[in-house]
């Protein structure tokens, strides 16, 4: 009954289905396979548009806009008419002579919808979010002329977009998005954080249970060894009081982005860099790597770390350890406030730890969320019939008004001006979604930019965030801002678009290399592999293309550095 099992037992993993073998064995009748193609993209059947809801009242050029619904449980783009932010946004469309016609697809379904429509060339919108398409497909569409060049489009507008991308806040993002032919073909979400007027970023670090430290009478660990002692003491003294030695470090060391690797100076991905050096390397080549594995091996062999969490594909087990009151330390944002309420114990609190000294002669690094984020992709497709309207929409999305509506909403409703600074009111915070929805007072960010129809624009002083988190975390954040050296969480924010060739080379390498790297790291941590054979491991990784990958990323990083000058 293989067929039946396949049909019924499918887990919620769309990608696996999308790519599970074109010739999917044993699954009769159903077409749960992957891609294929169009016969030349000629199939433009338009009679099957989904939930198209036009704004009938407005005049102007109609633009079809396709995008996902928000993933917010209360605030939905489909209910936009009741929000005053939307009413203000609609006016901006009218002013620019655009009549937007939206097709909203559920967010979980959007990836499939955009993939199939783009690949088959049918039912194409004028403007769409294509963040979920892979690099290889995107570059192919670019080469086939499926997308309009943003660089050319901004010449046809009123100059707002041109100013935004060439000299304004969008400059960095535009640099990252520019392809080898000198054109950018998509626009992205942009977020910039400052502190004290300068670019600044929040960090992800190891957090330790402060209340448990108090229980065992230890102060905050300042070295990796003290950290180890603290974990051991917590377990020995049974700080959660359930009679079991189950107080553990709960994190997933299959990837190098885990906090502890950074104590040993390691970069966060299989190929990445220390921002201050701008030199791409791999953790496997760095000095601290062997000590790192020795340290984790010690934690694992003494059961101070939950090894069953290594490499799991969902976070459920990890969340469960935290909730069960078993996680003595976790790896998360320094200003994280959402785990403590889930812990089944009174007074649980996690204290962020600055990168600890762990090995002699090695400076620990700090993993930061880059101060300038640029992510996601929105494109104009070749379906556009009126270039001026497209240019007008582009200008609109680059305008100050759009930025204000998205980030702050309506003055007096969702934000107020205090001492010349904008400040969000409580109703605009994440905790007030339900109320915001019932009162029709949401900021644009929640209504259309939360991974949804339009790109996010967010330019905030970190002072705002620091003011709302508990004092220990606020203090920590203020101090860590100065910390150097740093490594990026998500190095894509420093690496411009690859050339088509680079995309193909990387694709041929990455999966096997990552598999081997994760597996090797896991085996070294668990003691299933020995450090004695180090050279052979490195040879293996090199044979799988590690150096080629470093080369590709280095050339991208060089392009980025050059553009800063």
Partner 1 sequence: MKRRHSREAIKENLELYSIILPAIIMIAIFSYIPLYGLLIAFQDYAPGNAIVSFSQQAGIRWVGFKHFLKFINGPYFIRIMRNTIWLSLLNIVFGFTIPVVFSLLLNEVKLNRFKKFVQTASYLPYFISMVVVAGMVLSFININGVFSKLVEVFGGTAKSYNTDPRYFSRIYTITNVWKSFGFNSILYLSAIAAVDTALYESAKLDGAKRFQLMRYITIPSIKPTMAIMLILSVGSILSSNTDLILLLYSPANYESSDVIGTYIYRLGIEGGQFSYTTAIGLLAAVINFLMVFVANKASDKFTGASLW
Partner 2 sequence: MKQKASKRSNNLNRNTWGDYIIIVIMLLVAFITLYPMYYVFLQSISDPLEVAAMNVYFYPKGFFLKSYGLLVKDSQLWHSYGYTFFYVISGTILTLFTSVTSAYVLNAPKLIGKKWLIVFLLIPMYFSGGLIPSFLLITKLGLYNTVWALVLPSSYNITYIILTKTFFSSIPYEMTESAKIDGANHYRILGQIYLPLAKPILAVVAIYTIVGIWNSWFPSLVYQPNMDIQPLQMYLRRILIEQSVDLTNIGSMQEAEAMARLKLSNSQLKYSVIILTTLPIIFVYPFFQKYFVKGVMIGSLKG
Q: Interaction with partner 2 in 7-46: which residues (CB under 8 A)?
A: 7-8, 10, 12, 14, 17-18, 22-39, 43, 45
Does 12 sit near partner 1 (CB under 8 A)? yes
Q: Which of 158/319 has CB closer to partner 2?
A: 319
Q: Which of 45/57 has CB closer to partner 2?
A: 45
Mark residues 122-161: x for contact with partner 1 by CB under 8 A, - for none. -----------xxxxx--xx--x-x---------------
Scan residues 263-322 and list those touching partner 2 (CB under 8 A).
Answer: 314-316, 319-320
375 binds, among partner 1, partner 2, none (CB under 5 to 8 A by kind): partner 2
Does 346 sit near partner 2 (CB under 8 A)? no
Reported as half-sphere exposure (CB side, CA atoms, 13 A), residue 106 has a value of: 3
Q: Residue 387 Cβ, how far from partner 2 at the closest point, in Å?
A: 27
Does 543 sit near partner 2 (CB under 8 A)? no
Using a 10 angstrom Cβ sphere, with 0-12 exposed, 13-18 middle and 19 or more buried, the burial of residue 99 is middle
Does 316 sit near partner 1 (CB under 8 A)? yes
Cβ atoms within 10 Å of 275's Cβ, excluding its own: 20
Q: Residue 296 Cβ, how far from partner 1 at the closest point, in Å?
A: 13
105 binds, among partner 2, partner 1, none (CB under 5 to 8 A by kind): partner 2
d(CA 52, CA 270): 44
Alpha-carbon separation of residue 214 from 206, 209, 230, 347 (angstroms) = 17, 9, 11, 11
* Region from 332-340, 359-367, 395-403, 414-422 binding partner 2, contact rule CB under 8 A: 332-340
Q: Residue 269 Cβ, how far from partner 1 at the closest point, in Å?
A: 13
What are the start-end ranges of the E strands in 381-456? 415-418, 421-424
Scan residues 106-125 and list those touching partner 2 (CB under 8 A).
Answer: 106-109, 112-113, 116, 119-120, 122-123
Q: Residue 91 Cβ, how far from partner 2 at the closest point, in Å?
A: 27
How many Å is the maximal CA-CA distance in the chain?
Answer: 74
Does 55 sit near partner 1 (CB under 8 A)? no
Buried b (16+ CB within 10 A) or exposed e, 455-482: bbbbebbbeebbeebeeebbebbeebbe
Give the residue from 85, 191, 157 showing the smallest Cα distance to 437: 85
d(CA 309, CA 304): 13
* Six token digits for residue 372: 């300038």
* DSSP at 429: S
d(CA 550, CA 545): 9
Q: Residue 274 Cβ, how far from partner 2 at the closest point, in Å?
A: 21
* Region from 164-172, 211-219, 459-467, 523-531 binding partner 1, contact rule CB under 8 A: 523-531
Q: Which residues are CB-contacts of 115 (< 8 A; sequence separation ≥ 6)?
A: 18, 35, 132, 133, 137
Scan residues 102-121 and list those touching partner 1 (CB under 8 A).
Answer: 115, 118-119, 121
Q: Residue 137 Cβ, how far from partner 2 at the closest point, in Å?
A: 12
122 binds, among partner 2, partner 1, none (CB under 5 to 8 A by kind): partner 2
Q: Residue 238 Cβ, how far from partner 2 at the closest point, in Å?
A: 17
Q: Which one among 87, 152, 435, 511 touches partner 1, defined by CB under 8 A?
A: 511
Beta carbons of 133 and 114 less than 8 angstroms apart: yes
123 binds, among partner 1, partner 2, none (CB under 5 to 8 A by kind): partner 2
Does 503 sit near partner 1 (CB under 8 A)? yes
Q: For Cα atoms 332, 334, 336, give the angle at the middle one, nearest 5 degrees.
A: 70
Scan residues 13-52 and list those touching partner 1 (CB under 8 A).
Answer: 13, 15-16, 18-27, 29, 31, 33-41
Q: Which residues are CB-contacts of 163 (< 8 A; sequence separation ≥ 6)?
A: 398
């Amino acid at each position: 009954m293989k067929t039946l099992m396949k049909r019924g037992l499918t887990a919620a993993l769309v990608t696996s289905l999308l790519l599970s073998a074109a010739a999917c064995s044993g699954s009769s009748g159903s077409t749960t396979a992957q891609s294929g193609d169009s016969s030349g993209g000629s199939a433009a059947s338009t009679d099957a548009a989904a939930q198209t809801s036009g704004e009938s009242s407005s005049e102007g050029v109609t633009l079809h806009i396709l995008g996902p619904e928000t993933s917010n449980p209360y605030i939905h783009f489909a209910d936009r008419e009741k929000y005053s932010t939307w009413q203000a946004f609609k006016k901006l469309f009218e002013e620019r002579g655009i009549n937007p016609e939206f097709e909203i697809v559920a967010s979980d379904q959007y990836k499939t919808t955009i993939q199939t429509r783009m690949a088959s060339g049918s039912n194409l919108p004028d403007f769409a979010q294509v963040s979920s398409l892979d690099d290889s497909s995107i570059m192919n569409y670019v080469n086939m002329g499926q997308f309009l060049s943003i660089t050319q489009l901004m010449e046809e507008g009123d100059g707002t977009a041109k100013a935004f991308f060439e000299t304004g806040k969008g400059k960095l993002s535009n640099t990252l998005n520019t392809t080898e032919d000198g054109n950018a073909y998509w626009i992205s979400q942009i977020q910039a954080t400052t502190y004290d007027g300068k670019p600044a970023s929040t960090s992800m670090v190891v957090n330790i249970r402060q209340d448990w430290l108090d229980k065992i009478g230890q102060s905050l660990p300042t070295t990796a060894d003290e950290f180890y002692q603290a974990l051991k003491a917590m377990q020995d003294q049974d700080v959660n009081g359930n009679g079991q030695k189950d107080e553990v470090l709960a994190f997933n060391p299959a990837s190098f982005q885990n906090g502890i690797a950074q104590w040993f100076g390691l970069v966060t991905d299989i190929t990445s860099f220390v921002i201050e050096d701008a030199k791409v390397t791999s953790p496997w080549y760095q000095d601290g790597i062997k000590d790192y594995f020795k340290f984790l091996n010690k934690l694992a062999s003494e059961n101070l770390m939950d090894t069953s969490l290594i490499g799991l594909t969902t976070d459920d087990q990890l969340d469960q350890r935290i909730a069960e009151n078993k996680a003595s330390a976790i790896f998360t944002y320094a200003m994280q406030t959402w785990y403590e309420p889930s812990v089944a114990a009174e007074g649980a609190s996690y204290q962020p730890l600055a990168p600890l000294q762990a090995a002699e002669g090695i400076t620990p690094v700090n993993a930061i969320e880059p101060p300038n984020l640029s992510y996601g992709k929105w494109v104009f497709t070749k379906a556009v019939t009126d270039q001026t309207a497209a240019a007008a929409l582009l200008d609109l999305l680059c305008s100050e008004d759009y930025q204000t509506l998205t980030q702050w909403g309506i003055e007096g409703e969702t934000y107020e001006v205090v001492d010349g600074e904008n400040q969000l009111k409580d109703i605009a915070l994440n905790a007030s979604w339900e109320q915001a929805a019932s009162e029709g007072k949401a900021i644009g960010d929640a209504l259309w930019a939360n991974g949804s129809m339009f790109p996010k624009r967010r330019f905030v002083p970190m002072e705002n965030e620091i003011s709302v988190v508990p004092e220990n975390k606020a203090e920590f954040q203020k101090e860590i801002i100065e910390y150097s050296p740093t490594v990026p969480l998500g190095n894509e924010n420093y690496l411009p678009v690859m050339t088509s060739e680079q995309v193909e080379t990387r694709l041929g390498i990455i999966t096997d290399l990552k598999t081997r790297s994760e597996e090797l790291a896991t085996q070294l941590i668990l003691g299933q592999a020995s450090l004695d054979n180090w050279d052979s491991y490195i040879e293996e990784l090199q044979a799988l293309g590690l150096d080629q990958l470093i080369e590709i990323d280095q050339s991208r990083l060089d392009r980025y550095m050059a553009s800063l000058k």
